[in-house]
Amino acid sequence: MANPRHEKFFRIEMDSSSSHKAIVIGAGISGLTTAVYLQRSGIQTLILEKAAGPGGVSTSWKRKGYTFEGGVHWLIGAKEGIPLHQVWLETGALQESHPVHFKDPIYTLVDREGIMPLFRDLHGLELKGLRDRMALWSLRFHLACFRHFHQPINDLRGLRVKYPKPFSVGEYVKMLPAVLVTPFLMAQSARGYAKRFKNNRIRALLAAVVEPNVNALSLIYTLGTFHEGDSGYPKGGSLRLAQNMADSFLGLGGEIRYQTMAEGILPDGKGWAVRTDGEVLQSDVVVVSADARSAIDTLFREPLQDGWAKKMRSGLRTTQCMFLGVGVEADLSSRPRSMQIVLHSPLKAAGRTYETVVVNNYATEDGYAPEGCSVITCLLHGPTYAYWKAAKDDGSYEAKKKEVMDGFLEAMGKVIPEIRDAVVVTNMATPLTYERYCGTFEGSYMTDWPPFSRLYHAPIRYRKGLYFTGQRTAYSGGLPPAAQSGRTTAQTVCKDFGVEFVSH
């Protein structure tokens, strides 16, 4: 007789069209991608999500009628023809009703000298002499090497696939130039690479594209996607994107339980079981899309001691940020969309000093603020988890958050005078906020990848029936690896269980 605590999920099992069932832990982008493909392939899938909505760290939220975009700033694969584009279509993330805006310039430097835009084709940069001309030539050369460098979307060998994606040798050959310059780029930081330019203003502009401490490969890859006309902002932003995916999944017959925390994974007969608040849900397949770095210590009876898990524990360095959002009763639509602002005086925040800040201005996005009003946001990068944890412990957390926001508003008021006395609402997230809402390790949203460092990944297939997916299984994180790993995980499950993979 079935254990009554299993009952709820057993009802799902009785769907006669599905012979296998899966539980996906987490409705972030990787979990949703996995779930859409599994469900479409005929595996009855249930998502357990601890938060109240989909998206994970890629999300946006509303306060007093103002929308704060706390996730996607650019979506790689937004352009038709890029292999990943197909995944965004198949998962329902991109829809005709929510077109993508490909901003150009991608960033605009704002300093005491005025403004300097960084256009996708790099025209108009103020070059100071031969050194800058050489540096620009070299940058163009590296971008040309990355012209055809795309994350390939292939099918696993030996998998039955309804709509096979033919393997193209040509696709890989075209990536060869990028592969050849990769070691050179990985051996230096983005900041070091930008120093080839004599003009400090160009250096500052390039520092807006990726965190200056990461390797130059990340800079060239990211800039390359803009250069090729990819990387745009989908209308409605993160929340729309995630909601589109969730709707596609539900439309296929899947189930999502929000505000449901997976507390543990246990072997159960031939399959696996997930313990949630008051229930044990039995399944053939469990996919962990929650941060694997947290999961290895929290989701199993004992912390995992496999070699990869130990390496992850000792070697993985996280990317953390503080998020600041401000709603103002002022129309900022004449200001640039994404600004790299050189501050008049440095901003001190959480024990760190910021000479420049990247500010996104959503004044031209429909519905992000009441008529005539605007929203600006800013991410302050750096490892501040320990700082905020200590503040929480000694009771100074809220006061310290206010200190950071006050400093930011004062700094912004000097550069964008319209916002002075026009602030209606402020909102700030620290790594502790991300930890609380998304369960990410140290409240991070990606993995740090400085020069000469290694990345430590969780395997996609841990055991038959137990899989990882998401940001800690591929590269240093971001939306493309989340989607790509989600698809690979779904294919791995299908292969293990002899199920035909159906992509669309």
- The residues of the shown chain that bind ligand FAD, judged by CB under 6 A, are 25-31, 48-51, 56-58, 70-74, 76, 261-262, 289-291, 321, 323, 379, 438-440, 445-446, 470-471, 477-480, 482
Name the residue among 388, 378, 387, 373 with its Cα closest to residue 411. 378
3-state secondary structure (DSSP) of residue 255: strand
Burial degree of 474 (CB within 10 A; 0-12, 13-18, 19+)? buried
- In the bound state with ligand FAD, the residue whose beta carbon lies nearer, of 19 and 433, is 433
Specify the residue, 145 or 210, whose C-beta has the smaller distance to ligand FAD.
210
Q: Contact at 8 Å (CB) between 8 and 279?
A: yes
**Cα–Cα nearest to 179, from 140, 135, 231, 217:** 217
What does DSSP assign to residue 361? E
Q: Taking each helix axis from N to C terminus, what angle separates 237-251 and 29-40, rounded to the nearest 10 degrees?
A: 20
76 vs 404, beta carbon nearer ligand FAD? 76
Which one, 135 or 207, has the nearer CB to ligand FAD? Answer: 207
* Least distance to ligand FAD, CB of residue 162, Å: 25
**What is the C-alpha to C-alpha distance for residues 211 and 249, in angstroms, rounded to an integer?**
34
Q: How far is the CB of 236 from ligand FAD (least distance, A)?
A: 15
Q: 490: which 2 tokens?
A: 């779904």
How do beta strands 285-288 and 21-25 pair?
parallel
Cβ within 8 Å of residue 99, ≥6 positions away: 234, 235
Residue 400: CB minimum distance to ligand FAD, A = 20
DSSP state for residue 199 in the 8-state scheme: -
In the complex, the smallest distance separating the C-beta of residue 170 from ligand FAD, rounded to whole angstroms, is: 26
Instruction: Quote the least distance from Cβ 264 to ligand FAD, whole Å.
Output: 9
Nearer to ligand FAD, 245 or 416 (CB): 245
Minimum gap (Å) between residue 276 Cβ and ligand FAD: 8
With respect to ligand FAD, which residue has the nearer C-beta, 155 or 211?
211
Q: How far is the CB of 176 from ligand FAD (least distance, A)?
A: 25
Peptide bond into 346 cis (omega under 30): no
Is the CB of 93 or the CB of 479 nearer to ligand FAD? Answer: 479
